[in-house]
């Protein structure tokens, strides 16, 4: 057996093993990126869903407080029970800084609505209240657009 045959066989084996390892590494990175993207997507959806649920529950509590409970206490309890604080923290940990700022903007408008609904000022049927709702809605739409962009989805 000639040494060139032996060298060619060894080199072929090295190239084969190397390309297999490289392909596995590329596949692992791609899978990791996809898992990370899916986790962020779930957190973003949960965040916006909890924010929406908090608003709906606070609004319902402000319109029709449970028997024996005051309006302010009922609205504040609806906010606490929504779980939006917990999911907000998860989102802020996982999101890039620019998106964290957008998520915080939505949260701030939700907290403004909490105070308005708890205190009843301005009244729920007033244009001033509608302005606050609109500001919150705009913040939510901005967050959705930023989240889609972060996830690499078309706007």
Share of the chain above pLDDT 70, in %: 88
Give tens-digit pLDDT for 77-124.
999 999 999 999 999 998 999 999 999 999 999 999 999 999 989 999
Give tens-digit pLDDT for 28-62.
777 777 888 899 999 999 999 999 999 999 999 99
Q: Which string of b and e fits 1-38 if b means at least 16 CB within 10 Å?
A: eeeeeeeeeeeeeeeeeeeeeeeeeeeeeeeeeeeeee
Cα(148)–Cα(155) distance, integer angstroms: 6
With a cut of 70, say whether residue 1 has pLDDT above it.
no
Residue scoring higher pLDDT (48 or 12): 48
Mean of the pLDDT values across residues 73-78?
Answer: 94
pTM as predicted: 0.79
Count helices and strands in the chain by DSSP H and E runs: 5, 0
Confidence of residue 21 (pLDDT cuts 50, 70, 90): low
């Amino acid at each position: 057996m000639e040494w060139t045959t032996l060298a060619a066989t060894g080199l072929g084996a090295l190239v084969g093993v190397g390309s297999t390892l490289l392909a596995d590494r590329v596949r692992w990175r791609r899978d990791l990126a996809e898992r990370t993207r899916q986790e962020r997507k779930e957190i973003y959806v949960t965040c916006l869903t909890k924010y929406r649920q908090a608003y709906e529950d606070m609004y319902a509590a402000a319109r029709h407080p449970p028997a024996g409970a005051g309006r302010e206490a009922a609205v504040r309890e609806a906010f606490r029970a929504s779980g939006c604080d917990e999911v907000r923290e998860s989102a802020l940990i996982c999101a890039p800084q620019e998106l964290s700022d957008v998520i915080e903007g939505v949260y701030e408008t939700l907290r403004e609505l909490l105070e308005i609904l708890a205190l009843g000022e301005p009244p729920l049927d007033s244009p001033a209240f509608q302005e606050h709702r609109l500001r919150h809605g705009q913040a939510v739409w901005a967050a959705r657009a930023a989240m889609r962009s972060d996830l690499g989805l078309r706007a």
